[in-house]
Structure 1
Amino acid sequence: MPTLSAPWQERMYAQAVQALESGRMGHALLLSGPERLGKRAVAERLAQYLLCRSPSSGQPCGSCRSCELYVARSQRDPLELRPDGSPAHPGGHPMHPDAVFVGYAWRMTPSPPRQMTQIGVDQVRELSERLGKSAQYGGAKVAIIDPAEAMNESACNALLKTLEEPQPGRYMWLVAASPMRLPATIRSRCQRLEFRLPARDEALAWLGGQGHDPGAAGEALDAARGHPGLAAAWLRDGGMELRQEVAADLGALARGELAPSEAARRWTADGARASERLAHAADLAAARAAGLTDPGRTRRLAGWFDEANRTRDLLRTTVRADLAVAGLLLRWRELAGAGR
């Protein structure tokens, strides 16, 4: 059964279940809010509840055939649709006939497989076609698109047609960390379930319950600006140490003690963490801007923050990562060095 580990997830789930049970939930739901707050986990639990044959007290039973099928599929990965529209069942598990999951597809050739950075029109058309078929369990069908903001323009247009012609017992749930990237025509046709950062005391209690040292948890939560999911990820995966390394490099660049090309090679050498380093760098720049009183410098740092995030997006393309990051760090040296 999809697990909800945090009290704010339980609250969002209870709110959605109440709307379902009272008939106040429409056919389209947009689950929005910062990444790593559990939007997908809530959508998964809600889908299982909706499809369960014997729900009780707002929870799926976990033992009916519908629940068995739902849990049997991969609990991490959505059912992906490849660019040609063919389904790829994760781990070889049977899919639930009344649940459709669309996320990033994988291009299978050339080898090795490479994750695509958009959800295409063929995936959405396949989703709509399968959503329109007769339900086999409980009379309802549900589709989850995650991340919804990854849909390209053609996919959004195809989805809009489905949203404009709702069918009884059919539900479309969009999961988005950046809902403003979705067209207004799609947002306006969805009810909103908005996830917000919890109170600090609740976040610290949850981090403690995950086994993290209180002092380290408080430091990580402050660095993550009150985001418990992000703080937990940093504590678990060495993100705080990485953040300290990035801060040291930015300082050395500003003082002229480190060449941008050398830092860029180091930041992109392991590939997988290059984007995380840029995220830390952008956040550190934002924190620095917040402490300034000079409007001009604040604007320049805000511009560099935006550029760092655009460079993160570039890393998902075929651009040479070290060159893109070197250009960004050169501008940081010019900006921060002048400030000194």
Structure 2
Amino acid sequence: MSTPPWHEAHWQRLQSRQARGALPHALLLCGPAGLGKRDFLQRFVRGLFCGHPRGGEACGRCRACLLLDAGTHPDFMTVSYGLRKDGVPRKEIVVDQIRELSARLAMASQFGGWQVVVIDPADAMNAAAANALLKTLEEPSPQTLLLLVADAPWRLPQTIRSRCQRIEFQLPSHPEAMAWLVAHNVADPAAALEAAGGNPGLARAWAEQGALARRQAVRKDLAALAAGRAEPMEVARRWLDSEPEQCLWFAAQACVDEARARAAGGATPLGSQLDDERLADWFAAANRTRDALRGPLRGDLLLLELLADWH
């Protein structure tokens, strides 16, 4: 498996702990989306279950590997968004899911080895679910490994974070990220990396999805709003139909560029009429709105309020 270079140090430390029989009972894999946390997790889990691993890498042929490929390994469990009674996907992990998990972990491993649980995204657990998980974290069963994955670990209670060993994926250096993008034949890697805020995984995905064109469209929309050539409702509808969280990411970037250009005394690229304090407030509001889109509030109203403030 081709793995990013920024995984290597984490991989070697984890393999060293496994060789010493010193794996913790709970790991928190965290860091920005796009850095391959979940690929890292799957690679590690496969090696842990494999009957004939080499250097922590799974053989891909033994019974455990084949069961994992089929999604039927009895000692591997995943907790993620479930369905409500009406069949609508939930937007959080609820307490009943954690209680069901605890009941399964109370039973012995069917293969007599590790029982591994992945909770992803762990930062989507509501308060009751997080509290229910504490008992399992405080009184782990032998050879039970809990793997929590979180893009926003600060949303997890401190009581959860303090009971997990943390593996934090951080942005690689600019040269390392550029070399990786070039090796993966990403078109215009410098522009893609800038758009993704230095995150090479996002840069590659966004380049493939045509997000650089969306970035330019967002800037044009903000310039048109500032000049009175567009209406907030019109722009809000367009963003809502076209990756609204990504649009807000690009809008926040554009706001930063506007503030920097003003501080340098040059022409502002978007022609905003907001003063420095209101630009800072709008940047914060754009990021809050991006988070709020994951909740129950209407996206069109959230975007309308934000864009009306810019207008």
Q: TM-score of the superposition, structure 1-length normalised?
A: 0.82
Q: Can you list the C-alpha shifts for 1:85-104, whole angstroms capped at 9, x where unaligned?
A: xxxxxxxxxx2111111111
Q: State the partner residue of 1:330.
A: 308
The 8 Å contact of residues 4 and 42 in structure 1, kept in 2 or not, is answered as no
Residue 293 of structure 1 and its aligned partner are, at CA, apart by 4.2
Q: State the partner residue of 2:79.
A: 102
**Are 1:312 and 2:310 counterparts?**
no
Q: State the partner residue of 1:87.
A: none
Q: Can you list the C-alpha shifts for 1:306-326, whole angstroms capped at 9, x where unaligned?
A: 322332333334543222211
1:65 to 63, 66, 73: 63
The 8 Å contact of residues 51 and 141 in structure 1, kept in 2 or not, is answered as no
Q: State the partner residue of 1:149.
A: 123
Report the 3-state secondary structure (helix = DSSP H, G, I; strand = E; otherwise coil) of the residue aligned with 2:46.
helix
The 8 Å contact of residues 12 and 193 in structure 1, kept in 2 or not, is answered as yes
1:252 to 204, 224, 237: 224
Residue 138 of structure 1 and its aligned partner are, at CA, apart by 5.2
Residue 20 of structure 1 and its aligned partner are, at CA, apart by 1.8
Aligned Cα RMSD in Å? 2.1
The 8 Å contact of residues 98 and 133 in structure 2, kept in 1 or not, is answered as yes
Q: State the partner residue of 2:255.
A: 285
Alignment of 1:205-244 (within 5 A): 205-213=179-187, 216-244=188-216
Q: State the partner residue of 1:82.
A: none
Report the 3-state secondary structure (helix = DSSP H, G, I; strand = E; otherwise coil) of the residue aligned with 1:143.
strand
What count of residue pairs does the alignment treat as equivalent?
Answer: 302
Q: Which runs of 5+ in 2 are unaligned?
A: 265-273
Overall identity of the aligned pairs, in %: 47
How far apart in 1 are the matches of 2:132 and 2:207? 41
Amino acid at match of 1:246: V
Q: TM-score of the superposition, structure 2-length normalised?
A: 0.90
The 8 Å contact of residues 53 and 138 in structure 1, kept in 2 or not, is answered as no
The 8 Å contact of residues 286 and 306 in structure 2, kept in 1 or not, is answered as yes
Report the 3-state secondary structure (helix = DSSP H, G, I; strand = E; otherwise coil) of the residue aligned with 2:167.
strand
Amino acid at match of 1:275: E
Report the 3-state secondary structure (helix = DSSP H, G, I; strand = E; otherwise coil) of the residue aligned with 2:117.
strand
Alignment of 1:86-101 (within 5 A): 95-101=72-78
* 1:107–1:209 CA distance, 2 compared to 1 (3 A): farther
The 8 Å contact of residues 100 and 131 in structure 1, kept in 2 or not, is answered as no
Report the 3-state secondary structure (helix = DSSP H, G, I; strand = E; otherwise coil) of the residue aligned with 1:106.
coil
Residue 108 of structure 1 and its aligned partner are, at CA, apart by 6.5
